[in-house]
Amino acid sequence: MLEKTTLAAISERTGYSVSTVSRVLSGKAEKYRISQSAVERVTREARRCGYRPNLVAQSLRTRQSQTVGLVVPGIDNPFFATLSSIVIAQLDARGYHTLLADSRESEEEERQALEMFQDRGVDGILAVPVASSPEFHEEVGQNVPLVLIDRYFEKTSLSYVCTDNYAGAYMAARYLVDKGYRRILAIQGVPASMPNRERVRGFLDAIKDRGVESRVVGDAFSVENGSREALAAFAGNPKAYDAVFAFSATILLGTISALRRLGLTEGKDIGVISYDNNGFLDFMNPPVSRVEQPLREAGEIAVDTLFSLMEAHLSGLPRPAPVQQLVMPTLVIRESC
């Protein structure tokens, strides 16, 4: 005969009321001044019998699902995998589960993900947007607290937290110029994405009037894009450029693969610098210079902002003023340029 694992059954076996058992298992023992011995006894019995709360019923009572939706443009991209990991850890520390969706840089799939989050009754949404305009995100944000992270819309009422991509690209390009590089190839990511547009703008502003020949090529934040564009740029002339600025770590990997196929060594035959930081870059030969984005800081600010919106939404209070913040990246210099 299967043992009952309901609140009533735990109440009967421990001798405490159903309300006391419920308060202990929902983390409200301290609020209701329940004794430590009662907490330990109820918790021990719940673990012994494998009690699991009915989350659907609980969410109907509290109007909370303890779940946040997170949508990113490509979970196979190490940058977004790291960002997701940071956000998920932040939410987990607050007792929340994460519903993760991958839009694959598609506006339609992003829309489907946001609609799915609403249908599942999430308490809030964190989104790395791929849409060209904010209308649908703002519509969703009227119903569910929503914060943008890593990317944002120039004119929006939504909160967002993002790296200052213009400043990061400007710093990297100016460093190359100051080191004496005069023929610089920039391999960009998705041309329409906000971070990419800002990186292109920062790159061009940094080399303006500095006697630098330059070219911006590419169409994706991918290894394939980096390899294809580097091979094409140096085809028939290994000295066509003296430096390459890869706009992401994935683009960088493809670029280095192509350069080595062409017999060029970064840091010796050609300067190489990358946007995005990743632990493996210090283990490459030579270690790669890059723009480090403060992902942990951005994740913490975004989650804090979302919880402020969620608390106001749950309490029926006016929505707080939007937080629209750019965080400053850091230039990390190594031996590749």
CATH of the domain at 236: 3.40.50.2300
Q: Tell me, what's the pLDDT at 49?
A: 83
222 and 262, same structural domain? yes
CA distances to 23, 42, 200 from 197, in Å: 51, 56, 5
Q: CA nearest 230: which of 285, 188, 293?
A: 188
Q: Are 237 and 267 in contact (CB under 8 A)?
A: no
> For residue 199, what are the domain limits?
165-292
127 and 220, same structural domain? no
Higher pLDDT residue, 136 or 17?
136
Rama region for 291: left / alpha / beta (φ>0; ψ in -120 to 50; rest): beta
pTM of the model: 0.79
The pLDDT tens digits for 265-317 are 999 999 999 999 888 899 999 999 999 999 999 999 999 999 999 999 888 88
Rounded Cα distance, 280 and 157, in Å: 38
**Token pair 């009037």: residue:** 209
Rama region for 125: left / alpha / beta (φ>0; ψ in -120 to 50; rest): beta
Q: CA nearest 298: which of 324, 278, 321, 279?
A: 324
Q: Tell me, what's the pLDDT at 4?
A: 61
The sign of the dihedral angle between the CA atoms of 290, 296, 297, 301 is: positive
243, part of any domain: yes
74 and 152, same structural domain? yes
The pLDDT tens digits for 130-153 are 999 999 999 999 999 999 999 999
* Residue 33 scores a pLDDT above 90: no
The pLDDT tens digits for 215-267 are 999 999 999 999 999 999 999 899 999 999 999 999 999 999 999 999 999 99
